[in-house]
Chain A
């Protein structure tokens, strides 16, 4: 089993560019989460989903969008990249109200 797969692992964007961070799971978990981790900080919740077709904002949703058309996939979209979005992004999944399995993270730099 692959578990939680995030792509890409690294990416450099220019200010104003857009991109989508991919997250795919093969664990059939309903709950999926996107977190960001800034240097020296804990994780902060961006968006989450309790099932296909349902998404909700977390603590720091501004500048991001998500969709959940299937149970397996939960992409995170950055429309107009800003330097403040330089961070490491983690996708996580769980069977209830907590993330249990995390992906390896995507390191994103906005220059």
Chain B
């Protein structure tokens, strides 16, 4: 079974600084997708960024970018120019690329605190 590990239960960063959230995963598959979701205090899950395993180029969405290291099975999220609205729980997630729509495997999350 696939597993997703987020080793940082909590991270803190000063507003306008850069922070990196770590995620590692375990899989024997070669075709898969990786995601970062944000869950603010309102609880609603928001898709932040997505990476296809077959793509070597790291995904980027505005201030959010990933460092995808396929051989190391590492998928970290970098948030540049942190803003107060970035404060939330961040979840890393994995999905197989082929087969049924059996949803995602989530990590336990990292609580990101933004200090003004």
A pairs with B: yes
Residues of A within 8 A of B109 (CB): 40-42
Contact B43 A105 (CB under 8 A): yes
Contact A99 B108 (CB under 8 A): no
Contact B95 A102 (CB under 8 A): no
Q: Closest A residue to B96 by CB, please name it.
A: A97
Residues of A within 8 A of B104 (CB): 43, 45, 98-99
Residue A103 CB within 8 A of the other chain: yes
What is the interface of chain A mostly: helix, strand, loop, or mixed? strand
9 smallest A-B Cβ distances: which pairs?
Answer: A42-B106, A45-B103, A102-B45, A97-B101, A105-B43, A43-B106, A50-B101, A42-B91, A104-B44
Give 17 A-B pairs besides A42-B107, A43-B45, A98-B35 with Cβ atoms closer than 8 angstroms. A35-B103, A41-B108, A42-B4, A43-B91, A45-B102, A48-B102, A48-B103, A50-B101, A58-B103, A59-B103, A59-B105, A97-B100, A99-B45, A102-B46, A104-B43, A104-B44, A105-B44
Residues of B within 8 A of A (CB): 4, 33, 35, 42-47, 50, 91, 93, 95, 100-109
